[in-house]
Chain A
Amino acid sequence: MNEQRKAILDMLAEGKINATEAERLLTAIEPADTAPAADRKTGKKYLRLVVDYTENGEPGRVNIRVPVALLRAGVRLSALVPAQALEKANAEMAKSGVPFDLTQLKPNELEELVNHLDEVIVEVDSSEAQVRIYSE
């Protein structure tokens, strides 16, 4: 048992955190490479993005498939981005008319989002494009 895992279990035993928080912390410290082929939490292996569109009268299609493990690794990597970089990105996004605060995106919340991807199906239909996002 590594030190981080032991520290979390000690905090749980001492009542400093509840079982849900302990589970989240244990999830956050477990290495991505121990995840099995089919993602253990979502039961799904891939996230699929399909966009069908028409541009200048020509049909186009974007079909992207990424492993859920890649999203998980990306979320963990994003936690390492320094706050000053996020603030600069916020300022640039605000200049472009997108008032979005990246500092409010917490790795734990993103992790939860990835965990529940199997329940998410996004479908956007318009006259020019159709977008579908789902896990498989």
Chain B
Amino acid sequence: MPQLVTLKIERPGHRTVRLWIPVLLAVVLLSPVLLLALIGGIIACLMFDMRVFATIAGVGRFIGALPGSRFHIEQGRTALLLIIR
């Protein structure tokens, strides 16, 4: 399960933005939205004849495998760095 997401955005003429987002805290704060998303996902699974529990388990495994991912995109003096720990 991801613990911390680090985001760094550099743009010319702007201050560098650095964000450290604790995933657990974000999940707790966004829990009402996540609950609605879960319900929407279940309805979508039922509409498209997908196995609900297998899909939820698959998405859980996918999220669980995210730590260690790193995305770094640079274009000239603009840069975006996203690290999932």
Which residue in A60, A62, A67, A85 is a CB contact (below 8 Å) of B69? A67
Stretch at the interface among B21-29, B35-43, B55-63: B55-63
A65 to chain B, nearest CB (A): 4
The size class of the interface chain B forms with chain A is 20 to 34
The docked-state distance in angstroms from the alpha carbon of A60 to that of B77 is 9
B71 at the interface (CB under 8 A from A): yes
What residues on A are CB-neighbors of B49 within 8 Å?
A: 82
Interface size on A, residues (CB 8 A): 28
B50 at the interface (CB under 8 A from A): yes
The answer on a CB contact under 8 Å between A80 and B58 is yes
Consensus secondary structure, chain B interface: mixed
The answer on a CB contact under 8 Å between A62 and B73 is yes
Consensus secondary structure, chain A interface: mixed
For B72, the closest partner residue in chain A by CB is A63
The answer on a CB contact under 8 Å between A85 and B65 is no
Chain A positions 38-82 with a Cβ under 8 Å from a chain B Cβ: 45-46, 55, 58-67, 69-70, 72-74, 76-77, 80-82
Knowing A77-B59, A80-B55 touch, does A69 contact B65 (C-beta < 8 A)? Answer: yes
B70 to chain A, nearest CB (A): 4
B48 at the interface (CB under 8 A from A): yes
The docked-state distance in angstroms from the alpha carbon of A114 to that of B76 is 33
Interface string of A75-108 (1 = CB under 8 A from B): 0110011101100000000000000000000000
The docked-state distance in angstroms from the alpha carbon of A67 to that of B69 is 6
The docked-state distance in angstroms from the alpha carbon of A32 to that of B64 is 9
The docked-state distance in angstroms from the alpha carbon of A125 to that of B67 is 31
The answer on a CB contact under 8 Å between A82 and B50 is yes
Question: Apart from A62-B73, A62-B74, what are 8 other A-B pairs with CB-CB below 8 Å?
Answer: A58-B75, A60-B75, A67-B67, A70-B62, A77-B55, A77-B59, A77-B62, A80-B54
A interface residues with partner B (beta carbon < 8 Å):
31-33, 45-46, 55, 58-67, 69-70, 72-74, 76-77, 80-82, 84-85
B interface residues with partner A (beta carbon < 8 Å):
48-51, 54-55, 58-59, 61-62, 64-76
